Amino acid sequence: MQQDPAKDGPKETLEDALVRTSYHVMGILTRLGAEHDLSLTQLRVLGILRDRRGRMSDLAAHLGLDKSTMSGLVDRAERRGLLARDKNPQDGRVVDVFATPAGLELIHRLLMEFRREMAPATERLTPEQRDQLTRLLELFLEKPPAAPVRPARPR
């Protein structure tokens, strides 16, 4: 799923560039996480919970994981003091999860380290190119840009 970056052959497809970029970014996240004994998934959970709490089922759905997998993930993070559980007062079946101060501290440290790790790559771009890339990725991700210049709707 990875194109050899060395061969300057014909022209690379957008798909290849996206896959290579993704493996690159994930590689950095994996390494950074490993330095703090966090898997990519734990990192992601912590990232999601850095500014909100969430119920087990919503987290699992958001991550595309089974609820039983979610239980295990939260178990281990809770054992380490990074996350905590709360019974939801509205619905006795629901369990809410949130980051502890230690968890928040860790995720913010990780975010800073991530920016630092990415710097060599992002600094290869001019500020204009960075903006352009950000906008193109948002478009790609379906996030409608601030100024909606939507053309006529289909049909």
Residues 6+ apart with CB under 8 A from 150: 144
Q: Look at the block and give the residue holding tokens 């497809």.
A: 13
C-alpha 26/C-alpha 43 separation (Å) is 11
Instruction: Lay out the sheet containing 54-55: strands in order across.
Output: 54-55, 95-99, 83-87
Give me the residues paired with residue 95 across strands. 87
Among 5, 27, 72, 81, binds DNA (CB under 7 A): 72
Residue 136 interacting partner from DNA, a copy of itself, none (CB closer than 5 to 8 Å by kind): a copy of itself
Region of 45-53, 66-74, 80-88, 93-101 interacting with a copy of itself (CB under 8 A): 45-53
Among 66, 81, 86, 121, binds a copy of itself (CB under 8 A): 121
Q: Is residue 55 a contact residue for DNA (CB under 7 A)? A: yes
3-state secondary structure 95-108: EEEEECHHHHHHHH
Among 17, 57, 75, 108, binds a copy of itself (CB under 8 A): 17
- Residues at the site binding a copy of itself, with contacts judged by CB under 8 A: 1-2, 5, 8, 11-15, 17-27, 29-31, 43-44, 46-48, 64, 107, 110-111, 114-115, 118, 121-122, 124-125, 129-130, 132-134, 136-144, 146
